[in-house]
């Protein structure tokens, strides 16, 4: 169903090279920013922060920041720092999502989750350190010399991660877990996933254009198109996550597959069937790709990311 979106060998090589390069830059940024152990009481929380941050992962969100910035003609190092801040926010959210009081998962990125490797209190405090640290990072001149640009990116990330974004989405997800509603619709699930995951993906796309606009002043509708691109991509990503939870293995996913079905949770697969969920993911991906019509090679990385998101195996 999604064969026409699959990356060919040459595209896979380009995509892997691009993603690896951005991930390497992000790793160096995070390594230079995150506190290291000082042989003092409390080092355990710093160790947990670094354990979770450097657990692997695709660094897809930083790649989106860099790719959107590139679309606007910006290739400065600020995109890597902005992407690194979002990676800290993303890691904090995964650490909390894995907690016994939330999703209660033992495996993340192929390793024991933070509360399993350390303990629940340490995982909570370490995740808090990553979240607050991300915003401190975004205040620094290395992100952008213009304070107004930095403030706008902080606003975007705080809004998408807070009580009208990711936090609200997590609360809705937990409320459904407690109440076990039987009348959820596709639209309900799409809203929850948009809040929990999609808003941060959209914020990454928008932040890249904010960086570019300050230096190159692209057309106003580029930012609007990136918002629409991010919205569709986030929806495609989450629907396909539900597909992978059914067809993927623990080795591929780096986390426990099939948990949603075992828990009786409503997913796009349970509502639409496997083929229906796959089709919806493809439709959302094609909606994202349509936002890139008219752009040239400067949009190629965004195109590869969108196609990868609905053809990946993890």
Q: What are 274-311's pLDDT values in tens digits?
A: 999 999 999 999 999 999 999 999 999 999 999 999 99
255 DSSP assignment: S
- Other CB atoms closer than 10 Å to residue 107's CB: what's the count? 16
Place 133 in a pLDDT band, splitting at 50, 70 and 90.
very high
d(CA 111, CA 101): 19
d(CA 14, CA 73): 20
E strand or H helix that includes residue 107: strand 107-108
**pLDDT tens figures, 57-100:** 889 999 999 999 999 888 889 999 999 999 999 999 999 999 99
d(CA 144, CA 137): 11
Please give the model's pTM, rounded to 2 decimal places: 0.92
The full set of domain ranges for the chain reads: 3-309
Closest CA to 212 of 302, 306, 107: 302
Helix H segments across 140-258?
147-161, 166-179, 186-193, 199-216, 220-247, 250-253
- Other CB atoms closer than 10 Å to residue 158's CB: what's the count? 16
Residues forming beta bridges with residue 111, ordered by sequence position = 108
pLDDT score recorded for residue 264: 74
Mean pLDDT for the chain overall = 90
The CATH number of 3-309 is 1.10.600.10
Q: Which residues of 267-296 are buried (b: 16+ CB within 10 A; e: fewer)?
A: bbbbbbeeeebbebbbebbbbbbebbeeee
């Amino acid at each position: 169903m999604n064969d026409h979106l699959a990356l060919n060998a040459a595209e896979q090589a380009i995509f892997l090279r691009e993603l690896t390069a951005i991930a390497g830059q992000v790793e160096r940024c995070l390594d230079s920013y995150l506190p290291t152990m000082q042989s003092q009481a409390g080092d355990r929380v710093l160790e947990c922060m670094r354990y979770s941050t450097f657990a692997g992962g695709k660094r897809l969100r930083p790649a989106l920041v860099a790719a959107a910035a590139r679309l606007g003609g910006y290739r400065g190092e600020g995109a890597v720092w902005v992407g690194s801040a979002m990676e800290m926010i993303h890691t904090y959210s995964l650490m909390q999502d894995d907690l016994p009081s939330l999703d209660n998962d033992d495996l993340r990125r192929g390793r024991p989750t933070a509360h399993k490797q350390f303990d629940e209190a340490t995982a909570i405090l370490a995740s808090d350190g990553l979240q607050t640290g991300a915003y401190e990072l975004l205040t620094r001149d290395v992100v952008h010399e213009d304070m107004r640009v930095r403030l706008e990116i902080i606003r975007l990330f705080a809004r998408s991660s807070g009580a009208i974004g990711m936090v609200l989405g997590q609360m809705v997800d937990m409320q459904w877990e407690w109440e076990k509603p039987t009348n959820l619709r596709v639209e309900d699930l799409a809203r929850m996933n948009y809040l929990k995951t999609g808003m941060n993906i959209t914020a990454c796309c928008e932040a890249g254009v904010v960086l570019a606009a300050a230096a190159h002043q692209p057309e106003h509708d580029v930012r609007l198109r990136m918002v629409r691109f991010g919205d569709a991509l986030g929806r495609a990503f989450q629907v396909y996550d539900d597909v992978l939870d059914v067809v993927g293995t623990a080795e591929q996913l780096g986390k426990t597959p099939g948990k949603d079905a075992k828990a009786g949770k409503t997913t796009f697969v349970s509502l639409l069937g496997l083929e229906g969920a796959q089709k919806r993911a493809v439709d959302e991906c094609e909606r994202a790709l349509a936002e890139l019509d008219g752009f040239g090679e400067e949009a190629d990385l965004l195109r590869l990311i969108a196609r990868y998101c609905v053809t990946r195996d993890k």
